[in-house]
Amino acid sequence: MTHQPEQVRILLTGSTGQVGVELLQTLAPLGVVYSPGRARLDMADAASVRAAIREVRPRWIVNPAAYTAVDKAESEPELAYAVNRDAVWAMGEEACRIGAAVIHFSTDYVFDGKGTTPYVETDATGPMSVYGASKLAGEQALAETGAAHFVFRTSWVYGTRGKNFLLTILKLARERELLRVVGDQHGAPTWSRELAEMTAAVLGRCEASASGGPLEELLREGGGGSPVFHAAGAGETTWYGFAVEAVRLMQERNPEVRFAEIESITTAEYPTPARRPGNSRMNCNKLSERLGWRMMDWKDALREVVSEL
């Protein structure tokens, strides 16, 4: 009688969020995915996070969950830090204790957005908002625990489900005659499904190399000295450019529908409680060179997403 190896246990947080929903699908072929709801894993309560990890005893912890209400974070920093830093610290400590590895998602908001070229992983950080500062604190907390981990910084995440810029713009474009969209913030939209597919590919590759053995050294080698990777759509645009292209693609599919005109405005004309980075461009060369994943051009990804709506 042959011994069947135990299936890899994967603990997934935030499984109802944009990226989490996609991860439920992409991680399923790689092992047993546990995705407890808030009653069993509350990211605002580090003790709850620890209890869930001790109960599941996963080999991998995949953490797309985050406090992402950028403007609201300015008035409730304690909650933002509880979710984005303290829960991640607890995750790292528990992972260390059981030899698990953590895949954590972060954001372009860790930078000050003042540059004019795509950020590389080693560029100096300088968040301008509570949200950005809390996400950077989470990256640092995870590193300090000594847990084996990868951090994937991404930007402008959207998809077919959840609350995101694309779905909001397409809804408003049917309801209004004119939309005014910021045109001086530069970056690239990132499809939630591609993030999930990339994550599953990386996890699967690590498992194939580890053959059931320890993950720590493997992840350290994969990171090439730093566990941080940029993972955002290829190419670049502005929020205005994103909106124009999205509406153009939807108009192609629905020629009989009248959509709003879109006008470009400046950040100054659209004040928000939290400051937004002017430059969110991210250089993703390290991701392709070290982990073998090249991100799709944002326009190609957007076309696929619109075709599913």
Q: Report the catalytic residues.
A: 131
Cα gap 114→136, rounded to integer Å = 17
Q: Which of 147, 159, 114, 145 is nearest to 132 (CA)?
A: 114
Beta strand 261-265 with 190-191: parallel, antiparallel or unpaired?
unpaired
**Whole-number Å distance between alpha carbons of 3 and 64:** 34
Give the alpha-carbon dihedral of 40, 69, 108, 37, to 10 degrees: 10
Nearest 5 degrees, angle CA 271-CA 276-CA 282?
A: 155
SS3 34: strand
Angstrom distance (rounded) from CA 99 to CA 108: 29
- For residue 291, CA distances in Å to 123, 197, 206 come to 20, 13, 9
